[in-house]
Amino acid sequence: MSEHLPVLLVVIPLMAAPTAALLRWGRAAWGLATGTSWVVLAMALLILRRVQDEGVISYFLGGWAAPIGIEYRIDTVNAWVLMIVAAIGALVMPYARASFEREIQPSKIPLLYAGLLLCLTGLLGIAATGDVFNLFVFLEISSISAYALIAAGPDRRALHAAYKYLIMGSIGATFIVIGIGMMYAMTGTLNMADLAQRLPEVSSRTVSVAFAFLTVGISLKLALFPLHLWLLDAYTFAPSAVTVFLASTATKVAVYMLVRFFFSIFGPGFSLEVMAFHWVLLPLALIAVISASLTAIYQLNVKRLLAYSSVAQIGYMILGVSLASVTGLTAGLLHLFNHALIKGALFMAMGCVMYQVGSVRMEAMRGLGKKMPWTMAAFVLGGLSLIGVPGTVGFISKWYLVLAAVEAGMWVVAALVLVGSLMAVAYVWKVVEAAYFQEYKGEFEVRQAPISLLAPTWVLVAANLYFGVNATLTSGVATRAAEVLLGVGP
């Protein structure tokens, strides 16, 4: 049984998705989705542990060996990503019940659970597979389900947001499949390990073009500046629970794709020395950090504010990756996890506000410090983590990132990272000031959010603090993953 874990991880949510759609009763679909997500988390943790103990897991689908069949290949890097996705999934599902019941028509709710499960399947599949075409298939599964999920948002503008994402996402996916096609044409294989072996032998212009197509396609998927415009509306208008899920997982998996292609398939030698990708991505990442943080300060809708902040945070991750040292990659990979915790907590808090107040615009925050103390306290703590106050996960990420920049002698980069966190103070504090320094002026009585929303929120907040003072586990895994990618160390 346990040797089939890599495939079960993907198959179980895949089977659960249509079942959830068939269940007409929202609560039943919710039960199924929640149960599934917890089983998935347990499996992801088992896999992570096995990879830690025994090294790389290689699994052949249907027993067909690599060049013909599909291989699932899990090392520290993707075991780490699988764990992040599964953990967020396991927290979002219980959260979704109350949130969906408030925001979505009852008849559509089972379909949304099916969508969430499909999206989970796709993201897990991308992370688990060792076959580039299989990766593309899972990418489409996750993307298409995400379009549908976003379109279900309570605001009619959600349709427009989903449409925009559909167009941009499809362009991205097309670029990726073109890149994959070119690689296949040159090497005759789709297996990642085989590609890594054969690509250096056939290095030609085509490989370089494939590299370029993949870079642009994946950058679209991970919303790297200036390809980030789809993300803003998508996060703003999607149902609250969907925003939490996508913000904490989808872009993270795209970052994973980027490092997998750059470091494992093309190899650091080709990516860094021949293509010098880091000199392309580094400036873009910095612009993302500064410009998105700056724009976030002026937003009047808190979900949109957080969406801009996500663009900035993605900038941090890509910055870490493009520093291309063990410390830099560690920073990037660590921030995958840490940012999932941060944005998860913040968007969940906004979901609580949406549930009780019915709006997440800045003026809706007035006086909520008193009316919804637990929700706003969660937001403040999550916000502090986003800023990178010591004692939170955000600080650990920033520590590694600045250390990597200092080690590389890039003082300007180090300074800009810190300027970025100061801008975060500005936009987080806007919400804090509205909540604590203004009186509630609404007509109806606002009460505390229900426990089923608050509990997952506070689990994430607690994780923000716990992994902020005890990051040995997370930074250890991230460092090992960085070493695997750069091909150094044990």
Partner 1 sequence: MSPVQTLFGSLSGGTTVTLAVLLPLFGTAFIGLFRARPNLREAATIVTGLLLFGLVLSLWPQIMAGENPRFVLSTPIPGIPLVLEVEPLGYLFSLVASFLWIVTSLYSIGYMRGHHEKNQTRFYLFFAIAISAAMGVAYSGNLFTLFLFYEVLTLCTFPLVTHHQTEKARRAGRVYLGILLSTSVGLQLLGIIWTYSLAGTLDFQVGGILDGHISARMVPVLLALFVFGVGKAAVMPFHRWLPAAMVAPTPVSALLHAVAVVKAGVFTILKVSVFIFGPELISGTGAADFLIWIAAATIILGSLVAFTKDNLKARLAYSTISQLSYIVLGALLANQWGIIGGGMHIVMHAFGKITLFFGAGAIMVAAHKTEISQMKGLGRSMPFTFGAFFVGALSIIGLPPAGGAWSKWFLGLGTLEAGELGLLAVLMVSSLLSLAYLLEIPLKAFFSKPDRPPEQEGIREAPLPSLIAMGITSLGTIGLFVFPEPFYRLMTMVVGG
Residues that bind partner 1 (CB under 8 A): 384, 387-391, 396, 398-400, 402-403, 406-407, 414-415, 418-419, 421-422, 425, 429, 433, 436-437, 468-472, 475-476, 479
CA distance 227 to 61: 35
Cα–Cα nearest to 71, from 86, 83, 84, 56: 56
- Minimum distance, C-beta of residue 451 to partner 1, in the bound complex (Å): 20
Give 250 or 387: the residue with its C-beta nearer to partner 1: 387
**DSSP-assigned states of every residue in 61-126:** GGG--TTTS-EEEE-HHHHHHHHHHHHHHHHHHHHHHHHHHHHS-GGGHHHHHHHHHHHHHHHHHH
First to last CA, the chain: 29
- Minimum distance, C-beta of residue 474 to partner 1, in the bound complex (Å): 10
Give 86 or 402: the residue with its C-beta nearer to partner 1: 402
The helix or strand, by DSSP H or E, that contains position 140, with its residue range, turns out to be helix 132-151
- Minimum distance, C-beta of residue 54 to partner 1, in the bound complex (Å): 23
Give 140 or 433: the residue with its C-beta nearer to partner 1: 433
* C-alpha separations of 270 from 276, 288, 329 in Å: 8, 25, 17
* The two structure tokens encoding residue 232: 């803003």
Give 26 or 382: the residue with its C-beta nearer to partner 1: 382
Assess contact for 116 and 152: CB atoms under 8 A. Answer: no
- Minimum distance, C-beta of residue 338 to partner 1, in the bound complex (Å): 12
- Minimum distance, C-beta of residue 297 to partner 1, in the bound complex (Å): 13
- Minimum distance, C-beta of residue 24 to partner 1, in the bound complex (Å): 47
* C-alpha separations of 238 from 100, 328, 347, 401, 438 in Å: 11, 33, 11, 31, 28
* The two structure tokens encoding residue 299: 């937003």
Give 193 or 426: the residue with its C-beta nearer to partner 1: 426
CA distance 466 to 460: 10
Cα–Cα nearest to 8, from 42, 32, 40: 40
CA distance 210 to 205: 9
Give 207 or 401: the residue with its C-beta nearer to partner 1: 401
* C-alpha separations of 39 from 35, 44, 138 in Å: 6, 9, 20
Assess contact for 485 and 272: CB atoms under 8 A. Answer: no
Give 137 or 465: the residue with its C-beta nearer to partner 1: 465
- Minimum distance, C-beta of residue 3 to partner 1, in the bound complex (Å): 32
Give 21 or 419: the residue with its C-beta nearer to partner 1: 419
- Minimum distance, C-beta of residue 424 to partner 1, in the bound complex (Å): 10
Give 121 or 479: the residue with its C-beta nearer to partner 1: 479
The helix or strand, by DSSP H or E, that contains position 170, with its residue range, turns out to be helix 157-187
Give 251 or 330: the residue with its C-beta nearer to partner 1: 330
- Minimum distance, C-beta of residue 445 to partner 1, in the bound complex (Å): 21
Count of Cβ atoms closer than 10 Å to residue 331 Cβ: 31
Give 249 or 421: the residue with its C-beta nearer to partner 1: 421
**DSSP-assigned states of every residue in 287-305:** HIIIIIHHHHHT-SBHHHH
- Minimum distance, C-beta of residue 382 to partner 1, in the bound complex (Å): 14
- Minimum distance, C-beta of residue 342 to partner 1, in the bound complex (Å): 16
* The two structure tokens encoding residue 342: 């941060």
Residue 71: what are its φ and ψ, rounded to 5°?
A: -105, 140
